[in-house]
Amino acid sequence: PDAPRINPSILSADFANMQSELARIAGADFAHVDVMDNHFVPNLTFGPQMVERIQATSPIPLDVHLMIDDPDRWAPGYAELGAASVTFHLEAAADPLALAARLRSIGSRAGVAVKPATGVEQLFDHLDAFDQILVMTVEPGFGGQSFLADQMPKLRRLAGEARRRGSDVWLQVDGGISADTIAQAAEAGADTFVAGSAVYGADDIDAAIARLRSEAAA
C-alpha cells in the first residue's frame, strides 16, 4: 500500500474478541502486533501461538513489532508464520544485519526499531539492509502514552539521510499517534503510522483511520 500507511495497534483491542477486533480494522494497511516478553519491556502480551491465529484471522497483513530480548532467536518464527513484516529492536539484537537478512530470506519485510534514547546514525550506512525503520515516539511497553515530539529531529535526520542515499526504506512512528500529532510526524518524514488508542478508542473506526490518513497527507 502507498503512503501514508496506517497500522492500527491491536494492543488497544479487546483481547477476548480478537477476531471481531481484527475485522474492525479491515480498512487499514497493516495490523500492528505488539509482542512483549516482560524482559525487554515491563509488560507481557502474546507469543507465536497467538500471533499464528491472528495471522490466520486478520483481513489485512501483519506488522509484527517485537519488544523482546534475543530477537536473533525468536524473530524468524514470526516471519515463518507469515507476518508481512517483522520489526525487532536494535538495542536487543546481537547481529541486526544478519537477522534482517534472515527475515528477508524467509519472505517477510525486515524492520528495525529504536527506543527514544537510541540514535539512528549507526543505521545510516545500512539503510539497504532494512525495509522499514521504526522510530519509537513513546518508551515502548504500553499504549495510551503521550507522543514524544522530541523524537522529530531524529526522524528528520533519518529521512534526510534516506533521501540523500536514494533509499526506499519505510519510516514508521509508533506511540501517541493521533489526529493531533500525526501531521508533525509526517512532516518530519514518516510514511507509516502506528496508532492504538486513537483507532480502537474511536466510536467509528473507519472514520478514525480516514482522519489519520488525511491529517498525515496534509
Binding residues for ligand DX5, rule: CB under 6 A, are: 9, 11-12, 32, 34, 65, 138, 140-145, 174-177, 194-198
197 marked ligand binding residue: yes
Q: Establish whether 34 is a catalytic residue.
A: yes
111 marked ligand binding residue: no
Which parts of this chain interact with Zn ion (CB under 5 A)? 34, 65, 174
Cα 12-109-79 angle, rounded to 5 deg: 75
Set 29, 37, 63, 174: catalytic member: 174
Which listed option, Zn ion, ligand DX5, none, makes contact with residue 167 (CB within 5 to 8 Å by class)?
none
Which listed option, Zn ion, ligand DX5, none, makes contact with residue 143 (CB within 5 to 8 Å by class)?
ligand DX5
Q: Establish whether 150 is a catalytic residue.
A: no
d(CA 181, CA 195): 11
Q: What minimum distance in Å lies between the beta carbon of 64 and ligand DX5?
A: 11
85 marked ligand binding residue: no
DSSP assignment, residue 151?
Answer: G
Closest C-alpha among 73, 72, 54, 56 to residue 64: 54
> Cα dihedral angle (50, 53, 59, 61), rounded to 10 degrees?
60
Instruction: Please return the burial class of 50, using the count of CB atoms within 10 Å of its CB with bins 0-12, 13-18 and 19+.
Output: middle
Q: Which three cell numbers stand for residue 206?
A: 473507519
Q: What minimum distance in Å lies between the beta carbon of 144 and ligand DX5?
A: 5
82 marked ligand binding residue: no
Which residues participate in catalysis according to the annotation?
34, 174
Return binding residues for substrate: 9, 65, 141-144, 174-176, 196-197
